[in-house]
Amino acid sequence: MSDTTVHEEPELIQLLTPEGELTGHPDYPLEITADEIRDLYRDLVLVRRFDSEAVSLQRQGELGLWASLLGQEAAQIGSGRALRGTDMAFPSYREHGVAWCRGVEPKELLGMFRGVTNGGWDPHEHGFHLYTIVIGSQALHATGYAMGVQRDGAVGEDGTAVITYFGDGATSQGDTNEAFNFASVNNAPVVFFCQNNQWAISEPLERQARVPIYKRASGFGFPGLRVDGNDVLAVLAVTRAALDNAREGNGPTLVEAFTYRMGAHTTNDDPSRYRNAAELEEWKAKDPILRVRRHLENNGLADEGFFASVDAEADALGEKVRTQCRNLPDPGPLDIFHEVYAEPNVHIDRQRAEYAEYLASFEAEGVR
Amino acid sequence: MTNLTIGKAINAGLRAAMEHDPKVLVMGEDVGRLGGVFRVTDGLHKDFGADRVIDTPLAESGIVGTAIGMAMRGYRPVVEIQFDGFFFPAANQTFTQLAKMRRRSAGTLSMPVVMRIPYGGGIGAVEHHSESPESYFLHTAGLRVISVANAVDAYWMIQQAIRSEDPVIFLEPKRRYYEKAEVDTEASIAEATPMGAARVARPGTDATLLAYGPMVKTALQAAEADTDHSIEVIDLRSLSPVDYPTIVESVKKTGRLVVAHEATLTGGPGAEIAARITEECFYHLESPVIRVAAFDTPYPQSRLEEYYLPDLDRVLDGVDRAFAY
């Protein structure tokens, strides 16, 4: 059996080159101030620091696991900053940058990877649903939520848009494809934001798809496009347009953010087993943060003082992340029985009572 | 004799099965070049090639559904579901198709598909990586369900499962992957204990402690720790069908049965075994059948799993309860 891929070079929407040159794009005009670009730079640097601190915390045994976003900062910050407060996001489990934009505290994310919670933040408070680990499931949730938005009449310029995040691997799942179809036939106000980071653990893109991912959309009857996922300005412009299109009642869009997972799948993974170092080097040249810095520097939009202040802020964030993580309280044993049902449940009540008595028997003996 | 971990023994068993029968295929996410996230298929892609060791798209329903088609075409697919919690997207293909194909085809079609699933908790994982879904499989007619507790069984039972004409759910105790034993890989498969048989792992006279998969080690530790009683430990090995004669013989001798598992209590394997043993051993029982199981709650965040999982103390508490009658 052959293993050839259908080779096509689709258009990649890009506004800011890896060298930091702002080229713009005729279909995606972006009016943006220097202040706003500096803010995006700050976001990118801070989430990268948060992420690298989390990796370190895992190495130190403070977290059970971490799924690093390294390399995907622009895809997440660009799309996250395109969201309005009333919009709703449905992430997978790597969207720490989007969580940042939605005001979810680092400790909330850390709690899940430390194993003190199963998520636990209020999705409605932040417009940011819980992390979803079973691949692709959340695409349907987002679509259903968007169908609810339609029924609420929250459509128009001030309407609500929904976005869901998933990876290239998830495009193989039935749930994701069913979500595409449900969204299409219902003209639901949802943006499918695929971060194509080229790898699903060890499997390269060609094990998931023979055509560019964004082209799936046309078969389902809605537009799809590919954006440079390492270009925060292009991602911002494209996502904003897709969200506005959705909120104004024009249906879904599939945004394929073409990016790269610069780190391991998670801290349990060793990518040296299945991919070569040259590929990583190639993508390092397209680093999402470096190009913004170059742009700011080359155009005199930020001085050394600015960069130093962002670095200082990153250091402070690092300290905060470490402290927050180490101070996360362990849940008590009887928390096992909490929040299983909304209404009283005799099985749970009985088991909790029996277990409390069992634990107390050790305390009485002074052995536990 | 070769000293193998459970993980390496399954790997060696897969290799032996693939060498024995060219129709045996391995399919799953990351099973190829990576060798699986637990390295259970390590080296097979290199030695048997991409036609026989297939890195599938990321879609569990697709993996099981295409395995059914492969089986119809005469292949014997061994599919890996990467983690227990990721079985559920494949539930439709497993329950409505795989399990029922023989019956639906009036016996024309065999489904020699093995579904390997690393299962159970105790590894400090995030959610959906520590589940014990065996009760769903037990409740489904048409599936055989087995679980291994040591490297010897791992080596032989994977091969027996592959040779079975029925679909087999092969549950791998992931927290015990690194437990070692001496395995005689040169022996004949014909001489291996049949995969449907339970095994007395430790003889005793006062109570029977029944476990399978990851809990067998805990049960053996409990039997050692209880110096007041002589505890017989049975490794169930096959959850469906259950080898009742072995259990009945033991319980008629000891008069007490404690069943321990990581699956939740209600509707769990222990409930079914308790009902059957009560029927078959009613006049021999000195106490009710005691179940030591996980609570009827979702698998908790990992910092609570030491409380949630039945551990040595909870198994001993179960044994004490049996002796309280």
List, for residues B273-284, the tens digit of each pLDDT value: 999 999 999 999
Q: State pLDDT tens for residues A175-217.
A: 999 999 999 999 999 999 999 999 999 999 999 999 999 999 9
Other CB atoms closer than 10 Å to residue A220's CB: what's the count?
Answer: 18
Is pLDDT of A2 > 50? no
Q: How far apart are CA A83 and CA A15, in angstroms?
A: 19
B302–A330: do the CB atoms touch at under 8 Å? Answer: no
pLDDT at A120: 84
Nearest chain B residue to A270, by CA: B34
- Block residue for tokens 């169930």: B236
pLDDT at A365: 73
Contacts B59 to A, Cβ<8 Å: 172-174
Q: How far apart are CA A224 and CA A209, in angstroms?
A: 15
Coil/strand/helix, residue A2: coil
A115–B124: do the CB atoms touch at under 8 Å? Answer: yes
A208–B58: do the CB atoms touch at under 8 Å? Answer: yes
pLDDT at A343: 96
Is A41 designated active site?
no
Q: Is the CB of residue B59 less than 8 Å away from at least one CB of chain A?
A: yes
Provide ipTM, 2 decimals.
Answer: 0.93
Rg value, chain B, Cα: 19
Coil/strand/helix, residue A177: helix
A363 — pLDDT class (breaks 50, 70, 90):
confident
Q: Which of A261, A291, A295, A322 is catalytic?
A: A261
B298–A351: do the CB atoms touch at under 8 Å? Answer: no
pLDDT at A9: 63
Contacts B124 to A, Cβ<8 Å: 64-65, 115
Is A275 designated active site?
no
A330–B37: do the CB atoms touch at under 8 Å? Answer: no
Stretch A229-243: mean pLDDT, rounded?
98
Phi, psi of B112 (to 5 degrees): -80, 65
B55–A337: do the CB atoms touch at under 8 Å? Answer: no
Out of B34, B50, B301, whose CB is closest to A118? B301
Give percent above pLDDT 70 in chain A.
Answer: 97
Q: Which of A59, A210, A274, A326 is catalytic?
A: A274
Is A141 designated active site?
no
Mean predicted lDDT score pLDDT of chain A: 95
Is pLDDT of A5 > 80? no
Q: How many residues does chain B have?
A: 325
Stretch A83-101: mean pLDDT, rounded?
98
pLDDT at A364: 76
Out of B30, B59, B303, whose CB is closest to A330? B303
Segments of chain B scoring below 70 in pLDDT: none
Q: How far is B297 from chain A (nearest CA, A)?
A: 6
Find which of A94, A135, A276, A334 to mutate to test the B interface (most B CBs within 10 Å of its CB). Answer: A135
Nearest chain B residue to A271, by CA: B34
What is the secondary structure of A300-363 as a DSSP string? T-S-HHHHHHHHHHHHHHHHHHHHHHHTPPPPPGGGGGTTS-SS--HHHHHHHHHHHHHHHHHH
Contacts A175 to B, Cβ<8 Å: 89
Phi, psi of A225 (to 5 degrees): -150, 160
| Of A221, A39, A140, A115, residue with least CA distance to B127 | A115
Q: How far apart are CA A59 and CA B122, in angstroms?
A: 19
pLDDT at A281: 95
B265–A134: do the CB atoms touch at under 8 Å? Answer: no
A202–B317: do the CB atoms touch at under 8 Å? Answer: no
Out of B88, B265, B302, whose CB is closest to A134? B88
A116–B303: do the CB atoms touch at under 8 Å? Answer: yes
Nearest chain B residue to A3, by CA: B50
Enumerate residues 6+ apart whose C-beta is below 8 A from A342: none
Out of A64, A333, A336, whose CB is closest to B125? A64
β-sheet with B24-28: strand ranges across: B53-55, B24-28, B76-80, B114-119, B168-173, B144-147, B238-240
Q: State pLDDT tens for residues A138-159.
A: 999 999 999 999 999 999 999 9
Q: Is the CB of residue A174 less than 8 Å away from at least one CB of chain B?
A: yes
What is the secondary structure of B101-159 as a DSSP string? HHHHTTT------EEEEEE---S-PPTTSS---HHHHHTSTT-EEEE--SHHHHHHHHH
Annotated active-site positions of B, please? Answer: 129
pLDDT at A1: 45
Contacts A170 to B, Cβ<8 Å: 58
Q: State pLDDT tens for residues B81-120.
A: 999 999 999 999 999 999 999 999 999 999 999 999 999 9
Out of A64, A173, A175, whose CB is closest to B124? A64
B307–A336: do the CB atoms touch at under 8 Å? Answer: yes
